């Protein structure tokens, strides 16, 4: 199919078959680099995700004086220790995890730093980290009364706090915990429902225990991290595009190996099962404090489901592709309690309603989610990613299942988390 250079065309066609290995987990890759940078000694990371977001973390850490060796294809050797004041502004690109977690670390450093990012980052709420970090004693200012990046941080020795987050957010929880490493006493974070816990697990691997009691986590500072060796599992969020596509395209049978199965991330598997998908999880094991395993999915008929409550933080980044599945399922799907989707890389509620609507779907945008009248079909058409990698990849899945080709404008953003996405898609569909 002819295709303009700046568009990705995905057509309906062959079933998805074979085996794939998802790229390294993005959340875990960021954390491995950040913790390695502040740990004493050398940290070895295998399976690091070499996608734009995680490369932004490496670039910022190098500006902070950290020596990082990159050994192809995906090994890092990080020579950690003390950070030094950066000469230049730190640019996180599109990465919310980089700006929020790094802000937590910088709040505890005896120097001044400035963090900024692309247009999407400069729109996203930063008061959720700025407020607790100020309470810990850091100077944090930014645009719009300190709510937006660029953020300017004057760090130093901090005091421990107890912080209750109004929404479940692993980035906020992690920012406060990382600042807590540089605070005197016990830092506590409480959240309304459980967000991903990679930071807590990985701090244990680096020799800093994090206690959990219900929805509260605590650590004692000041704490010293010891360099560690770890291997990053495959990213379930990246695998999800292929799992959903295989569940939808008749005749598919696809296996994804070595993929992360942390229970704070596996909501998409629960949602797919609720919708009637044929999924099998096997070879489950644990590595560097994180569960992983193999998933096999076979195509079946899907039906609508209600996705809300505690399931939402466990599925948050997969909700765009769940919305695509909902259009192709029979019956209504409601996604609720998901207002956080409005402040991701883009307003994902608005983007999904608009772009899936262009493919003939009946999608109603609600303040906290979407109501989707599944009709079992989508038509081809021209859509736009809006610069949001997860919207681009969800729309590509729509293209595999639609009646005609879907052409996605501005697809380069997939490099944020999954540079090999298109090649992987072509391979498993043999297109």
Of the candidates 25, 53, 197, 317, the residue annotated as catalytic is: 317
Closer residue to ligand S3P (CB): 113 or 174: 174
Closer residue to ligand S3P (CB): 39 or 236: 236
Which region, judged by CB under 6 A, interacts with ligand S3P, from 167-175, 220-228, 264-272, 407-415? 167-175
Smallest separation (angstroms) from ligand S3P to the CB of 124: 9
Strands 306-307 and 330-335: parallel
Give the C-alpha distances (Å, rounded to integers) separating 428 from 246, 288, 407, 416, 422. Answer: 10, 30, 19, 21, 10
Residues 25-84 that bind ligand S3P (CB under 6 A): 27
Contacts 24+ apart (CB under 8 A), 296-299: 296/253, 296/254, 296/255, 296/256, 297/243, 297/246, 297/247, 297/252, 297/253, 297/254, 297/272, 298/246, 298/247, 298/252, 298/253, 299/15, 299/246, 299/247, 299/248, 299/249, 299/250, 299/251, 299/252, 299/253
**Binding residue for ligand S3P (CB under 6 A) from 29, 94, 97, 424?**
97
Smallest separation (angstroms) from ligand S3P to the CB of 294: 23
Number of residues that bind ligand S3P (CB under 6 A): 11
Residue 95 lies near ligand S3P (rule: CB under 6 A): no
* Token duo for residue 1: 């199919």
| Dihedral sign from CA coordinates of 418, 421, 424, 425 | positive
**Binding residue for ligand S3P (CB under 6 A) from 22, 176, 316, 370?**
316
Smallest separation (angstroms) from ligand S3P to the CB of 333: 20
418: left (phi over 0), alpha (psi -120 to 50) or beta: beta
Candidates 90, 99, 81, 106; CA nearest to 179 is: 106
Closer residue to ligand S3P (CB): 340 or 422: 340
Helix then strand then coil, % of the chain, to nearest 5:
35, 30, 35
Asked if omega into 79 is within 30° of 0 (cis), the reply is: no
Closer residue to ligand S3P (CB): 278 or 368: 368
Half-sphere exposure of 181 (CA within 13 A, CB side): 31
Closer residue to ligand S3P (CB): 163 or 407: 163
Residue 403 DSSP one-character state:
S
Smallest separation (angstroms) from ligand S3P to the CB of 312: 10
The CA distance from 29 to 25, in Å, is 6
Residues 99-158 that bind ligand S3P (CB under 6 A): none
Active-site residue 197, yes or no?
A: no
Closer residue to ligand S3P (CB): 195 or 252: 195
Smallest separation (angstroms) from ligand S3P to the CB of 199: 7
Which region, judged by CB under 6 A, interacts with ligand S3P, from 33-41, 74-82, 165-173, 256-264? 165-173
Which region, judged by CB under 6 A, interacts with ligand S3P, from 164-172, 182-190, 222-230, 406-414? 164-172
The CA distance from 272 to 254, in Å, is 15
Closer residue to ligand S3P (CB): 326 or 341: 341
Q: Transcribe 266-335 into DSSP letters.
A: THHHHHHHHTT-EEEEEEEEEETTEEEEEEEEE----B--EE-GGGTTTTGGGHHHHHHHHHHSEEEEEE
Which region, judged by CB under 6 A, interacts with ligand S3P, from 43-51, 149-157, 166-174, 289-297? 166-174
User: Nearest 5°: phi and psi at 338?
Assistant: -125, 35
Closer residue to ligand S3P (CB): 324 or 400: 324
* Token duo for residue 62: 């190098």
**Binding residue for ligand S3P (CB under 6 A) from 91, 191, 290, 317?**
317
What does the per-residue mask of binding to ligand S3P show for 168-187, with x meaning CB under 6 A?
Answer: -xxx--x-------------
Candidates 19, 25, 11; CA nearest to 238 is: 25
Radius of gyration over alpha carbons of the chain, in Å? 21
Residues 360-419 that bind ligand S3P (CB under 6 A): none
For ligand S3P, the binding residues (CB under 6 A) are 27, 97, 169-171, 174, 195-196, 316-317, 340
Catalytic site positions: 317
């Amino acid at each position: 199919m002819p295709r303009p250079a700046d568009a990705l065309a995905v057509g309906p066609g062959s079933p998805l078959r074979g085996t794939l290995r998802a790229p390294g987990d993005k959340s875990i890759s960021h954390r491995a680099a950040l913790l390695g940078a502040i740990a004493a000694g050398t940290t070895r990371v295998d399976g690091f995700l070499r996608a734009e977001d995680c490369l932004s973390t490496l670039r910022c850490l190098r500006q902070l004086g950290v020596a990082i060796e990159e050994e192809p294809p995906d090994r890092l050797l990080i020579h950690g220790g003390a950070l030094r004041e950066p000469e230049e502004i730190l640019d996180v690109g599109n990465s919310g995890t980089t700006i929020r977690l790094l802000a937590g670390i910088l709040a505890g450093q005896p120097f001044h730093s400035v963090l900024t990012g692309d247009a999407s980052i400069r729109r996203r709420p930063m008061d959720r980290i700025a407020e607790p970090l100020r309470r810990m004693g850091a100077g944090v200012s930014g645009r719009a009364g300190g709510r937006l990046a660029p953020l300017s941080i004057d760090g130093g020795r901090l005091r421990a706090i107890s912080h209750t987050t109004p929404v479940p957010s692993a980035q906020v929880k992690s920012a406060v915990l990382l600042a807590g490493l540089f605070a005197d006493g016990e830092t506590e974070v409480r959240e309304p429902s459980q967000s991903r816990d990679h930071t807590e697990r990985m701090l244990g691997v680096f020799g800093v225990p994090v206690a959990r009691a219900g929805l509260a986590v605590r650590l004692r500072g000041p704490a010293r991290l010891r360099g560690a060796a770890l291997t990053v599992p495959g990213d379930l969020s990246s695998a999800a595009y292929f799992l959903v596509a295989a569940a939808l395209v008749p005749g598919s049978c696809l296996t994804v190996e070595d993929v992360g199965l942390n229970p704070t991330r596996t909501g998409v598997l629960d949602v797919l099962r609720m919708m009637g998908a044929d999924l099998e999880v096997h070879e489950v094991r644990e590595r560097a404090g994180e569960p992983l395993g193999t998933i096999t999915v076979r195509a079946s008929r899907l039906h609508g489901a209600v996705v809300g409550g505690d399931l939402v933080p466990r599925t948050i980044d997969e909700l765009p592709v769940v919305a695509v599945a909902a259009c192709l399922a029979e019956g209504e799907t409601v996604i609720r309690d998901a207002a956080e989707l409005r402040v991701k890389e883009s307003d994902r509620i608005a983007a999904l309603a608009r772009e899936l609507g262009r493919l003939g779907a009946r999608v109603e945008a609600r303040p906290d989610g979407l109501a989707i009248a599944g009709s079992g079909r989508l038509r081809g058409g021209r859509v736009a990613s809006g610069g949001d990698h997860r919207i681009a990849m969800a729309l590509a899945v729509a293209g595999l299942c639609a009646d005609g080709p879907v052409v996605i404008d501005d697809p380069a953003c997939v490099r944020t988390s999954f540079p090999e996405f298109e090649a992987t898609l072509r391979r498993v569909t043999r297109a």
